[in-house]
Amino acid sequence: MSHAGLRMSTNEKEFIVAAIREEQRIDGRTPFDYRRLQIKFLKEDGSVEVQLGQTRVLAVVKGEITQPYPDRGNEGSLAIFTEFSPMGDPAFEPGRPSEMAVELGRIIDRGLRESRAVDTESLCILSGRSVWSIRVDIHILDNYGNLVDAANLAALAALLSYRRPECTVGGDDGQQIIVHPPEVREPVGLIIHHLPIAVTFAFFGDGNFQVLDPNLKEEEVMGGRITITINSQGEICAVQKGGGVGVSASEVMRCLRIAAAKAQSMTETLKKAVEIHEIERAQRKIRRHPNLQNQIDTASSVPNPIKKIEVEMEETSEDIEPKQALDTERGIKDLSMSDSSRMKSTETEVAETLTEKPSRAGGRDLFAGGESAWGDDVKLTPLKGSPGTRSTLFPLDSDALVEFDVAARAVLRGGVSSQRMSSKLVSEPLQRQISDQIAAAAVYANQTSPLISEDARPLGPIFPRVGDMDSTEESDAALETKSCKLFHYAIAGFVQTTSN
């Protein structure tokens, strides 16, 4: 199996074979070890780059609506195109595919298409008229041996991550196909029944020495090769042994058994990688809503929320001494001058959006978050990890938020513990809720060191210890700010838990 373009000395060739007889490989692997596998999903759905050691393969899946084959009217089609680009190897010439390219294309084709791994009946739109035609293009970027296995994996990963636009049949005559753009309806994936994994062995000597996943140099000196396409259920989809040194049947059986085991572990790896990609994809979709961020930015111009709270304060602060009530009002006015007014108004904004059904978010999840307003220096782990931030926080509607604010201030001002909270301040069921919240926030405060940041982020990890606050020492304005922050913190905690 000589390889044009790679010139190896006789010494090197003999060394490789001699080493394999001793079950040593030149790159340090054991005979039945795969090289390091990296599956990278690119930005577009259905594009995957697989790196097996130094071999790199790019697979791209594209779908198109076409007419079906006349004898298969209600089935879509899957076609695999392998182009040996001259990028991968100086020996690859542009133009006519070499026999290696043809062989590779056929092995993958048989493994994927003829084993019916991809369900083609689900690709039918209008029987006999329109079907989806799926095309897989495999580009060899770097040839460092065992292109078949890498290309097969790339094709599988690409098919698993590909999403075709959803289409419905409608119109007056029921014959019109409407293709929905991805913004309107979520594109749908292909139905894949099983994953045929290609496992390649190289033979040396008289065929009695085999290695798995030969690299370029081993391919240069090998006597023969066998590729077994098998899935994790142990079903053999294809076997290809094209010429080369004769191998005994028992050796072939041994290879089959090893291939079955390798296919299982490879399937696991592939599924895990696809899963991680799916999660990232979903997260990206959630984060991609600039609407909410714009609202937060413009909320500072909205005077109403501040006014609303002011009014509430006047009403419910009966039990608090009149002086303090006045101070509270003044405090609010001070706040509206300072940056934290923006925080306050955004709080209510966020609360409102949380409780409303988010029609702005296009009917998606409850929390349609925009870009995180938290910078890189904000550590999120303390927020997520501490018990105060877990499920003890309940969703509060805007009224409850206001009441919570009141209660929080009362706690801070008078050092009132949650049990001693006057029942006139808050209603019974809400009291329990709020006391839990305050307790949670207090627990948090005592656990973590204060991360005071004076910037005007709408939600920030700013929480001084509850015990540190002594109402006699600090000015009312400062206290206002702090209670504001306590309030914000609890919301931040809630927001964090919902967005996870």
- The rounded distance, in Å, linking the Cα atoms of 236 and 249 is 16
Measured from the CB atom, the residue of 217 and 344 that comes closer to other proteins is 217
Least distance (Å) between residue 273 CB and other proteins:
19
Least distance (Å) between residue 451 CB and other proteins:
30
Measured from the CB atom, the residue of 85 and 269 that comes closer to other proteins is 85
Q: What single DSSP character describes residue 188?
A: E
Least distance (Å) between residue 71 CB and other proteins:
25
**CB of 150 closer than 8 Å to CB of 53:** no
Long-range contacts of 353-356 (CB under 8 A, 24+ apart): 353/292, 353/295, 354/395, 354/495, 354/498, 355/395, 355/397, 355/398
Place of tokens 């964090």: 496
Q: How far is CA 441 from the centre of its chain?
A: 31
- The rounded distance, in Å, linking the Cα atoms of 270 and 41 is 11
Least distance (Å) between residue 44 CB and other proteins:
6
Measured from the CB atom, the residue of 56 and 482 that comes closer to other proteins is 56
Measured from the CB atom, the residue of 139 and 262 that comes closer to other proteins is 139
The H or E element containing residue 178 is strand 176-179
Least distance (Å) between residue 112 CB and other proteins:
17
Measured from the CB atom, the residue of 48 and 491 that comes closer to other proteins is 48
- DSSP secondary structure, 424-475, as one string: TTS-HHHHHHHHHHHHHHHHHHHHSPP----S--SS------TTT--TTTS-
Measured from the CB atom, the residue of 2 and 500 that comes closer to other proteins is 2
Least distance (Å) between residue 56 CB and other proteins:
7
Measured from the CB atom, the residue of 49 and 149 that comes closer to other proteins is 49
Place of tokens 């009695």: 208
Least distance (Å) between residue 97 CB and other proteins:
12
- Using only the alpha carbons of the chain, give its radius of gyration: 33
Least distance (Å) between residue 6 CB and other proteins:
9
Strands 124-126 and 130-142: antiparallel
User: DSSP strand E in 100-147: where?
Assistant: 124-126, 130-142
Measured from the CB atom, the residue of 154 and 407 that comes closer to other proteins is 154
Amino acid occupying residue 419: Q
- The rounded distance, in Å, linking the Cα atoms of 213 and 489 is 54
- Given the rule CB under 8 A, which residues bind other proteins? 42-44, 47, 49, 54, 56, 58, 60, 62, 83, 85-90, 94, 135, 137, 139, 141-144, 290
